[in-house]
Amino acid sequence: MRSAQANRNATKPMASARASLPWGKWGLRGTAFLYLGFMVALPLAAILRNGFSDGLLAFRADVMNITAFAALKLTLVTAVVVTMVNAVMGTLTAYVLVRFRFPGKGVLNTMIDMPFAIPTLVTGVMLVALYGPQRTLGAWLNSHGIQVIFATPGIVLALLVITYPFVIRTVQPVLMEAERGQEEAAYTLGASKWTTFRRVVLPTIAPAIVTGSLLSFARALGEFGSIVVVAGNIPGVTLTAPVYIYGQIESQNQRGASAMSIVLLALSFTLIVTVEWLQGRNRSSYVSG
């Protein structure tokens, strides 16, 4: 009652202000658009112009040369591996966090967001400190023929740490919202716990898993800070696409850097659009259900 009154009071002066200052809303919208253009569209245009400055063939040569292609391939492969691990482990962790009670649950729940808070360079340093060839764990693994730091496993490890929260944080709320009753109904209908998970729980949380996985994939594509420390950056072996771009900038090859950037950009953009679409679909099915 009181709030309705307040609303009415609040809207009246605003309406009259709008009537007397018709340029007000256009001014606001214009500012927003200008800002967006300045911050996003303009740099985007600049990089596109840079990348394609010598035509498509040059662009193709920039991206498909041996070093560049190897870097791109390494980035994609590690990102895919990381995404798959995340999809499984993230779902598992989220399920454990939502469905079970255990001591230390609160602590675990807070710890999950830590990778967001740690600067990625620091993550790299942490990994070197743990897996470096002179360190205990690193030395022990080395003696068994497994090299982590300055090798592909190091890259995967760093990406895993950095993308750790994504799947957990997207799946967790969906799982919390899902009725426990559906699982119990499946049990009484004779479905084992695994069947219930596969046939009842998984379909419910699948969109969330995909969303989280795509987000972590996008994040893995662009990761630079931790990789620079961990990977060793040997061209053709442990050089990833973002580090490759950095190298091209360092050696004054703006066009090459831009070309690779455009490829990463296109991938990321596609992923983000996909995620948006998935989430929108998810929401609408919840609304109508």
Partner 1 sequence: MSIALENISKRFGGQWVVDNVSLEVADKELFVLLGSSGSGKSTILRMIAGLTEPSGGRVLLHGTDVTNLPPQQRGTGFVFQNYSIFRHMTVAENIEFGLRIRKAPREERMRRREQLLDLVGLAGLGSRYAHQLSGGQQQRVALARALAYEPNVLLLDEPFGALDVKIRSQLRRILKEIQQRLGVTTILVTHDQEEAFELADRIGVLERGRLLEVGASEDLYVHPHSLFTATFLGAGTVLVGRASDGQAQFGPLSLPIPDDSPHDEGARVQLLFRPEHVALSADRPPPDLPLVGKGAIIEQNFTGPLRRVRLRLPRLAGTRQISPPPPFGEEGLLIDAAFPSEAAIDGQEMWVGLRSWTILDKPDPHLLVCDLGEGPTTQLALARLLADRLRARTTVLAVAEDPDQAESVRAKLGERAEAAGLSGATLRVRFGKPAEQIATEQAQSLYEMLIMTPRPGSKAARRPALEPRAKARHLGDTLMTVLEHADVPVLIAKGERSQVERVLICTAAGEPGKNDVREGGRLARRLGATVTLLYVSRGSDVSALTRSHLDRAIATLKSIDVEADVRIRSAPTPVAGIMAEIRERDHDLIVIGAHGPRSRTRFKLNDVMLQVLSIADRHVLVVPADRV
State yes or no: residue 185 binds partner 1 (CB under 8 A): yes
| Site for partner 1 contains 200 (CB under 8 A) | yes
**How many chain residues touch partner 1 (CB under 8 A)?**
20
* Stretch in the footprint of partner 1 (CB under 8 A) among 75-83, 85-93, 110-118, 190-198: 190-198
Among 187, 197, 224, 246, binds partner 1 (CB under 8 A): 187
Phi/psi zone of residue 90: left (φ > 0), alpha (ψ -120 to 50 degrees), beta?
alpha
From the CB of 177, what's the least distance to partner 1, in Å? 11
User: How many Å apart are CA 53 and CA 88, to the nearest integer?
Assistant: 43
Q: Alpha-carbon torsion 140, 116, 108, 213, what sign?
A: negative
- Please state the closest distance from residue 42 (CB atom) to partner 1, in A: 44
Nearest-approach distance from CB 111 to partner 1, in angstroms? 28
Q: Which of 11, 16, 136, 192 binds partner 1 (CB under 8 A)?
A: 192
Q: Which of residues 125-184 bind partner 1 (CB under 8 A)?
A: 179, 181-182, 184
Mark the segment that binds partner 1 (CB under 8 A) among 15-23, 82-90, 146-154, 188-196: 188-196
Instruction: Kindly tell me which of 33 and 286 has the beta carbon lying closer to partner 1.
Output: 286
Looking at the Cβ atoms of 7 and 182, the one nearer to partner 1 is 182
Q: Using the rule CB under 8 A, which residue among 53, 195, 251, 270 binds partner 1? A: 195
Between helices 202-222 and 66-99, what is the axis angle to 10°? Answer: 140
Pick 9 or 188: Cβ nearer partner 1: 188
If the CB atoms of residues 209 and 262 are measured against partner 1, the closer one turns out to be 209
Kindly tell me which of 106 and 190 has the beta carbon lying closer to partner 1.
Answer: 190
**Among 57, 101, 203, 250, contact with partner 1 (rule: CB under 8 A):** 203
CA count, 13 A, side-chain hemisphere, 27: 5
> Is the CB of residue 79 less than 8 Å from the CB of residue 220?
yes
190 binds partner 1 (CB under 8 A): yes
Determine how many CB atoms are found less than 10 A away from the CB of residue 279. Answer: 15
Residues within the interface to partner 1 (CB under 8 A): 179, 181-182, 184-192, 195, 199-200, 203-204, 285, 288-289
